[in-house]
Amino acid sequence: MNPFRYERASDASTAVAMLGQASGGAFLGGGTNLVDLMKLGVAQPQLLIDVSHLPYNRVELLSDGSVRIGAAVRNSDLAADRTIRSRYPMLAQALLAGASGQLRNLATTGGNLLQRTRCVYFQDISKPCNKREPGSGCPAREGYHRNLAILGASEACVATHPSDMAVALVALDAVIRVLGPNGERTIPLTDFHRLPGDEPQRDTMLEHGELITAVLCRLPRQSMLLRA
């Protein structure tokens, strides 16, 4: 693993400012994906800014009936939350379908949305991969591509995003709250993950330095509540 610096952010604005000044830095959630990729040499951040202790660890029912999920809420806590289980059972089920209890205890909501593909060539730095190294090629097209894309693939990349949670959130019309150097913005989850196109190295619409602070789920339609 390459040497790197570790900082724990005291607040969100400081975290955003720190990453804005470090082009080779990255936010750290539970580390269950990023640290693995660092061990494999796929990711080589020089600075890790730990955002898992920021005050975004609550699931809140808002006055307009929607639910705000903080970006630092752990996957286990989200799946066990009473509001989530009663209003959005598909979200709890999707979370529990993923990874293992130990991983879910660490994995955060923000980190889960930004985990990288599990394409075997992406994770192997001895192989070419357009997502990891643009222009180097895509061996998955002719090689091992189980669980990769049938729809939405491109000549450059056929990778899929591995988050089970994201699929449920897309079905629930969730939106993502982001804080960046230019302030706050909201991104519908349907627009958040990019198809690979000819820029497979870009997984999402997030810009460098932008921090996910929360995910917002609207009140489910009455029919969904009755089914639950």
Q: Which residues bind ligand SF4 (CB under 6 A)?
A: 117, 119, 121-122, 129-131, 138-140, 148, 157-159, 200
Measure Cα distances from 51 to 61, 111, 168 in Å.
Answer: 23, 10, 24
Q: Which residues pair with 217 in a beta bridge?
A: 67
107 versus 158: smaller Cβ distance to ligand FAD: 107
Q: How far is the CB of 178 from ligand FAD (least distance, A)?
A: 8
Q: How far is the CB of 92 from ligand FAD (least distance, A)?
A: 13
104 versus 116: smaller Cβ distance to ligand SF4: 116
DSSP helix/strand/coil, 149: coil
109 versus 160: smaller Cβ distance to ligand SF4: 160
158 versus 176: smaller Cβ distance to ligand FAD: 176
Q: How far is the CB of 85 from ligand FAD (least distance, A)?
A: 18
Instruction: List the single partner that 163 binds among ligand FAD, ligand SF4, none, CB under 5 to 8 Å by kind.
Output: ligand FAD
Instruction: List the single partner that 121 binds among ligand SF4, ligand FAD, none, CB under 5 to 8 Å by kind.
Output: ligand SF4
With a CB cutoff of 8 Å and minimum separation 6, the contacts of 169 are 91, 113, 189, 215, 217
Cα–chain center distance at 53:
17
With helix as H, strand as E and coil as C, how does 70-132 read? ECCCEHHHHHHCHHHHHHCHHHHHHHHCCCCHHHHHHCEHHHHHCCCCCCCCCCCCCCCCCCC
Query: Which residues make up the interface to ligand FAD (CB under 6 A)?
Result: 26-34, 36, 51, 71, 98-99, 103, 106-108, 110-112, 114-115, 162-165, 211-212
